Chains A and B, each alone.
Chain A
C-alpha cells in the first residue's frame, strides 16, 4: 500500500471551532488531494496541490483552506466548523501525467456537533 497516513482518523468537534486534518505521505508524490464523501454525493474534491506552496480549489472549497509547506504534508483546515462539514474526508496522492493512478488514504471521520 502507498504510504499515506491521515490523522486523526476520527474527530468530534463543536460548531464554530477550527479543525485541521493532516495528510502525510512517504512516496514523494507531487500531487496531493483532499476529498469529502457524503451519502448520495460520492467523492467531491475540496482542494488539491500540485507542488509545495501550490494549491488550487476543487468542487466544494468554500469553508476550507489548505496548506502545503513541504512535499510530504498537506493540511486541510476548517476555519470555523459547521454541521454541514460533518463528513468522511479522504486524502489522495499521485504523480502528474495522463496515465498515473491516485492512491488514497484510509479516511478521517469528522463529526461537527
Chain B
C-alpha cells in the first residue's frame, strides 16, 4: 500500500515569492492534516480536513496561507507571499477518520522549505 505522498521534497525560494505544496493521502483516508514543523520542535497542526471540508483551520495564518482539498482526495497548501520565518518542514498526514481519538495518523516525508 502506498503511503502519503508529498511533493516537492525540497523547495528554496526568495522571500515574497509564492510557494505551493502538494499532498496525496493514503487511498480511502477521509481525514487529511497539514502540520508545520519548525527546527528542533514537534509538528503543529495547521489545518484538518474531513473529506473536502476544513473542520479545523484555527491555526492557519489566513493572511498568507491557504489550503484546498478539492474532491476530498489530494490537497494543496499555499503560501503567498512567503516570509523568512516560514522556513520549516511542512508535513501532511492522513487517517481513516477524524472521529475518535485513537486513530493513527500516517505521515508523509514532508516538504522542507527554505526562504532566502
Decide whether A and B assemble into one complex: no
Residues of A within 8 A of B (CB): none
| Residues in B lying within 8 Å of A, measured CB to CB | none
